Each structure stands twice: as structure tokens, then as C-alpha cells.
Amino acid sequence: MEVVSNEVSIRTGAEKMPAHLARPASGGPYPALVVVMEAFGLNDHIRRITNRFAAEGFVAIAPNLYFRQPNNVVGYNDLPGAFRLMGSVNDDQIVADMGAAIDHLKALKEVKPAFGTVGFCMGGRVAFLTACRNSAVRATAPYYGGGMVKARQPGVKPPIEYVDSLNAPVLAFFGGKDAHIPITEVDEFRDALKKAGKPAEVVFFPDADHGFMCDDRPSFHPVHSKEAWARTIAFFKEYLG
């Protein structure tokens, strides 16, 4: 499917947040996705992923959640820079900014009222958190989101503590070689969703590492990334129509 994409500006509170927007070139209305960046920022990889979702029949938007910070994209070899940027945002602000991205989509004539969230790395956590805290989200697919069940910062509630207000089915992906997310936390995440009675599928690839969807990272896994992509597209088409 032919895609058109451009950089847009989203009003969030009194500020304007840059975002990458991609959509099928014609037809519609289409279901919509908010694509959430990794800890490294809104880079070319996330833009390409956003365009790929558009090619599958979605209007997709990737907001720059770090826009308040200077130098808000860092390389994959710059973990200190990524941690600095991650530490510059807080959950309430992120949920508000994600809500602003959804509101932006709602105003587009090409969009029908069916919204999902999908994210990678830090974005996996944000995608799930937003689904728990924004009732407009009807499906969420977090990829290797850390800190889902255990707080990584003092005084910050992990997303799973908001699970009672989740109204979206979950398709979550994790890797067995991921040093950032212990298998025990994957199990706890799965168990908490089940205990809360939420429809969820947690996919675990034993030989996949953190970042296995990103072809710009050494951890890229061509087989599992292809399988996860197909499952994600089928999932969103089922629940968003």
C-alpha cells in the first residue's frame, strides 16, 4: 500500500510536540496507532516502523516524547545518553502527551475511532501504561517494555498497578536473552494480567535479545522480528478493524 508521511506538530497543553505521521495515500478511514519510540528517541528506525504500519492499512503517528529536551535523539551506542533522556520524562506527562497524540488522530478525516498503541523498549512500557490510563485505547502491543511490574524509580508506580482500568487486549513480546528484563518479571506480568482477567497474550522468544525488532541494532533477530510483525498486524486488524 502506498504511503504518505510528514512531520507534524501536536498541541499538548500549551506546548507543541513534533511527531512523525504516516498514512495510506488514499482511501480510508483507517484505524490508528500511536507508535512509541525507544529510549534513544524519535530516530529514523522508529519513522520507518511507523511508515510500515501505514503500509499495512493504519494511520500511524510517532510522537517525540523527548521534545522538551535538547539533543533528544542519541545513537544506539550511547546508553548514558538514553538514560539521561529517559530520566527527563515522567509518567503523568507522558500519558498527557500520548493523549494529545490520540486527540490529534481523532481530528483527522482519514482516521476511524479505533486506536491502538505499540512501542519498543521504553516505548513498550509507555504503550502499555497509556492503554491502562486512556480509555480510548482499544488494543496495545508492547515490545520488550521494562519496568512493567517493578518500579525502576522511587515513587513511580509500575504500569501493572493501573491494570484494573485496562480496557484493551494485550499482545506483548519479550526475549529470553534480554538482560534488561528478567524472566521472572515476564512471568509476573503475565500472571498479573491473568489475575486481573484481562485478555492478553505474552509471547516469549527464548533466543531473542532486547531490541530484536530493530535492524539498526546488533540484537536484531530477522526471524523473530518477522514473526512478531505478522502477529502484531493480525492482532491490530482483529481488534481495531
CA-based R_g, the chain, Å: 16
- Rounded CA gap, 194 and 202, in Å? 11
141 closest CA partner among 233, 23, 208, 8: 233
Going through 144-227 in order, the beta strands assigned E by DSSP cover: 170-175, 200-205
Length of the chain in residues, anyone? Answer: 241
- First CA to last CA across the chain, in angstroms? 17
Q: Is-catalytic flag, 132?
A: no
Q: Is-catalytic flag, 178?
A: yes
Which residue is catalytic, options 20, 45, 104, 121?
121
Q: Name the grid cell of 2.
A: 502506498
Query: 2: exposed, middle or buried (C-beta count within 10 Å: 0-12, 13-18, 19+)?
Result: exposed
122: which residues sit within 8 A by CB, 6+ positions away?
36, 37, 38, 39, 86, 145, 146
36 closest CA partner among 23, 27, 47, 24: 47
Q: Is-catalytic flag, 104?
A: no
Which residue is catalytic, options 210, 214, 221, 224?
210
Which residue is catalytic, options 20, 45, 97, 178?
178
Catalytic residues: 121, 178, 210
